[in-house]
Chains A and B, each alone.
Chain A
Amino acid sequence: MNLSMRWLKDYVDIGNVSMRDFSEAMSMSGSKVEGWETEFEGVKNVVVGKILSVEPHPDSDHLVICQLDVAQGEPVQIVTGASNVHAGDLVPVALHKSKLPNGVEITKGKLRGVMSNGMMCSLGELNLTKGDFPYAIENGIFLIEEGCKPGQDIASAIGCNDTCVEFEITPNRPDCLSVIGLAREVAVTFDKPINLHTPVVKGCGGNINDYLSVEVQNKELCQRYVARVVKNVKIGPSPRWMRERLRASGVRPIDNIVDITNYVMLEYGQPMHAFDIEYVKGNKIIVRNALSGETLTTLDGVERNLTEDMLVIADAEKASAVAGVMGGEYSGINEGTHTVVFESACFKGSSVRVTAKKLGMRTESSSRFEKGLDPQNCLPAIMRACELVEMLGAGEVVDGVIDIDNSGYKPTVLHLDAEWTNRFLGTDIPEERMKKILSDLHFGVNGNEIIVPSFRGDVEHKADVAEEIARFYGYNNIPTTTAKGSPQGKLSEYQKFERTVNQTMLAQGLYEIMTYSFVSPKQYDKIRLPKDDPRRKSVVILNPLGEDTSIMRTNAIPSMMDILSKNYNNRNGAVSLYEIGNEYIPVDGELLPDEVPNLVLGMYGEDKDFFTLKGVVENLLDVLGIEDYDVTACSDNPTFHPGRCAILSKGGEEFGIIGEVHPLVCQNYDINTRVYTGKLNMNTLFALMNDEKTYVPMPKFPASTRDLALLCDDSLPVLTMEKAIKNAAGKILEKVELFDVYKGSQIEAGKKSVAFNITMRAADRTLTDEEVGSAMNKILKAMEELGAQIRS
């Protein structure tokens, strides 16, 4: 909402307050000021000049030399190419070293050898249009027809010195989208009286009912419909004071009737509609729902398809306006308009909102209606419009008002409980002070009964009343205390687990990333998910911004691949990344999906291989105390390299997958190097976590170590061998460490050599050679069962 300070002054005089103090005070009482702008603020050295003479230029037939009186002693000589200047004209003169509203600086210079000490300005050069000064011409010097003197500063001479304040008005206060509404707030903020005015309409006789009848069919959506008729309309420009106020408010002046509707909308906050009675067939207005298949071409020339839930203003034959949104193309005011109907109505906000949204046309009018306007404002607003018609001589107001009021308005009555209010706010405000604030805000105060004014539909509870009191008592005058009670905040067990996971990733040099939870369905193709995979069934966004963000991911790996791809293509040499991100898994029969947190890992770089990634995971599982898990080779996940992918599980429950990304998937992400990725289900990890650690004393007796080199089938997993060694050696086994795997020239094809370092120890004695030997024999036997022979 843009407020003209000049207009505000019609209602409240706050005296000499700087704009900074004004906006600070208004912001602190709840009407946030976003900024302000004074017209012609940057303009310098532009004054009114009176042309004394116009002489031809000796060396040009299209230039003339003017002498101007700018009240600086000697006349000023200016050369111009404009042809509409004559001696005696008053014109805007940009003197030497001046600045125009558009920032252009003017200095003196010679034109065809003759000195020109500045420039005479057109409307355009002053950032103005014909709407602002209808008597001026667009192409030529602006000949000023205002009461002003040579030498006068241009801003004050033509009234371009208003200040416009931009307010951020919250949606609960549509009443403040008006000069009067803001004036009420200003008056209470600065504790000044407000000069409200009751419009007076003289009328010219006659009877509105001879011109028009109105039928409201949908009484729920049309809460009030007020109409008046103006005859003998004389379309013309509106007076300067009206044009100035409109311009400062950001509205372009057009003609007197249109300007009046805009003026009243800005002043009262009530959208007005004026239309030519010629176009009301049967002289009857019907407010009804649109018919099935009905269309209407709106003012902007677009044909709109209406639906039955939309409210329209119609005549006996067809719709002429979408109620509260926009008028029809052929109903507006034009040069030949003779009799005008003014409409001041109140339509139900939710209906206007839905209609405007459906039609994709949010207008000034609809954005006001959708916030819920005050039906009690319709009548004063139309009276004000008619008053202005008479004041401007724009027509004659026919006697009588058509007023169909379905609002059933009854004022809201609340009880002021001063003690509760103080307890709620933590204040000690005297009851009398509360009552003063409320009555200044036009609430009725009757003992402890509070009667809410009709324009404050937002006040319906004692908490709302408390806010009104707090706003003007001053939020910053409320004391600051700390909430009672003994605070005991903590992280939950899961949150602590999550912190551990984060710390372990960071300690291993991974960077944390954050990715969007919504992806393109094409991502499933990119990771080569089969067409019939159930994981393609995703939560779909009905109104996505684009295909790229249209479904909630059921797999967080594509998001990681995207980021790896961006880094790779930005030539970041080697990266290791992780994210704890949700996957959104639809659940049959449930409204909401399962949101499953996953730890997603991704890396590439010359120093990385499958085991780099696996090492990161092994460290994490170690930190979490998850032991004896299974690692199974997985060759059928199309996202991964068929020979370099592992599924992690414990007790038959899968908790993760890691692997080298399939080259075709890398290709889909434009990555031309090997990439390693994987994910672990955080919920399962949390369930498996065992953070109970018990101290084991340092060994007192020496260990016996043996190296064991074996020859076996290449396909025999090392993990299987390790487990068999552990089983065979029994309790005395301390650890088994793989230290070499060899395939090559000395080894038969399809075989490999595997070497382990085996450590055995007893807690209570030194092991004898016999004990160690017997254990080694058992191990060898177990190895033979697996088809592994000792290597000689």
Chain B
Amino acid sequence: MKAQLEAIEKKAFEELTAAQDLKDLDAVRVKYLGKKGELTAILKQMGKLSAEERPVIGQLANQVRAQIEERLEETKTNLEAHLLDQRLATETLDVTMPGKRSVLGKKHPITIVLDELKEIFIGMGFDVAQGPEVELDYYNFEALNIPKDHPARDTQDTFYINDNVVLRTQTSPIQIRVMEKQKPPIRIIAPGRVYRSDALDATHSPLFHQVEGLVVDKNITMADLKGTLEVFVKRLYGEESVVRFRPHHFPFTEPSAELDVQCFNCHGEGCRLCKGEGWIEILGCGMVHPKVLENCGIDPEEYSGFAFGMGLERLVMRRYNIDDLRLFYENDARFLNQF
């Protein structure tokens, strides 16, 4: 019987080694370990053995069984690993093929830059204010120190609804509306559409966007104006940006300035991008004119402030190297898709 058991073990091992798949393995298991298996059959003959032989053969039989089971398990693991490798090999993809993409929405490029400006200014403590586009002449001009016969009105070709109502030519009237409603401290930006009767071409549009800013509080100085806008420019264009403040004129600020940033392309040497000037004009700004504060019921002896305004389209055009402003309002999907 001992020889029989050893023969079974040897045969089982041989068959396991030859097994090609899980089915073969299972056949081996049934053949030797199953209820009608060879090993089981041997064990059934145990009764015929003597009392001395029985424990010895019993132990041997259990050993053989354990070894077959162990080898079976091992073979199964190996075979499974091999089969998995085989399957994976057949499943190889050309990973350079394009991905399946869901359709992504796209923000209008003007919105992208405007959102960035909002984020910068909110981070600096500004709220975002709004005002009407169809606006009273009073808010658009008179309260801003631009009376009816002021020559500055000529530089802003105005669309009129009637003698008292215009399409706002600037976002500055929002300043007035905010100051009338809210007592200082005030810290707002006011983005919006503005209208001027310029015929549409590559660099002009009768409708465009401005972003206005206003800070009013006690002891606000021109140094604060400079500091605030310098931080803004550095956040927008990077820490290495160089700015300069150049005297200018706006009826509603005094002193007034334009903020230029040194040309990113030529670093002040003068190139095509900056039209040879070395500097690019970004925005207009100044200390709120005391008369404007007075017009809003704010005492200029107690409070002071600064204001600034910039054209959004120009900023966006520079950001993306867009050379034709009309593209913004044509809204061709092939254009919008690029941002």
Contact = CB atoms under 8 A, between A and B. Distances in A.
Interface of A: 27-30, 32, 35, 170-173, 349-350, 353-354, 370-372, 423-427, 461-464, 466-467, 470-471, 475-476, 478-492, 495, 502, 505-518, 539-545, 549, 552, 563, 566-567, 570, 572, 575-577, 582, 584, 591-593, 595
B111 A489 contact: no
Interface string B55-85: 0000000000000000000000000000000
Task: Determine which residue in B121, B124, B148, B287 has the highest number of CB atoms from chain A within 10 A of its CB, and name it.
Answer: B287
A648 to B, nearest CB: 21
B323 interface: no
Contact of A30 (B167, B187, B248): B248
8 contacts: A28-B246, A349-B149, A466-B254, A480-B223, A484-B224, A485-B217, A506-B107, A591-B164
A173 B331 contact: no
Task: Determine which residue in B106, B124, B228, B230 has the highest number of CB atoms from chain A within 10 A of its CB, and name it.
Answer: B106
Contacts of A32: 246, 248
Across chains A and B, which 3 residue pairs bring their CB atoms closest together, nearest first? A487-B125, A426-B223, A350-B149
A188 to B, nearest CB: 12
Interface string B99-137: 000111111101100000010011111111000111110
Contacts of B132: 592, 595
A464 B254 contact: yes
Given A481-B223, A482-B228, A513 B290 contact: no
Contacts, number: 241
Interface string B321-334: 00000001111111
B178 to A, nearest CB: 13
B235 interface: no
B64 to A, nearest CB: 50
B86 interface: no
Interface of B: 102-108, 110-111, 118, 121-128, 132-136, 148-149, 151-152, 154-155, 159-162, 164-165, 167, 185, 187, 193, 195, 197, 199-200, 206-207, 215, 217, 219-224, 226-228, 230-231, 244-249, 251, 254-257, 276, 287, 289-291, 304, 328-334, 336-337
B249 A516 contact: no
Contact of A424 (B104, B111, B126, B287): B287
B106 A506 contact: yes
Contacts of B106: 506, 511-512
Nearest to B249: A170
Nearest to B107: A512
B336 A35 contact: no
B135 A592 contact: yes
B151 A485 contact: no
Given A466-B254, A487-B125, A595-B133, A513 B151 contact: no
A485 B165 contact: no
A545 B197 CA distance: 6
Contact of A539 (B102, B161, B200): B161
A171 B248 CA distance: 10
Given A488-B125, A512-B106, A481 B221 contact: yes
Contacts of B162: 542
B255 A466 contact: yes
Nearest to A593: B134
Given A482-B228, A541-B159, A354 B149 contact: yes
B105 A572 contact: no
Contacts of A466: 254-255, 287
B161 A516 contact: no
A489 B122 CA distance: 5
B105 A371 contact: no
Task: Determine which residue in B132, B154, B193, B254 has the highest number of CB atoms from chain A within 10 A of its CB, and name it.
Answer: B254
Contacts of A463: 254-255, 287, 289-290
A515 B126 contact: no
Contact of A484 (B122, B217, B289, B291): B217
Given A471-B255, A549-B206, A423 B221 contact: yes
Contacts of B110: 514
Contacts of B206: 516, 518, 545, 549
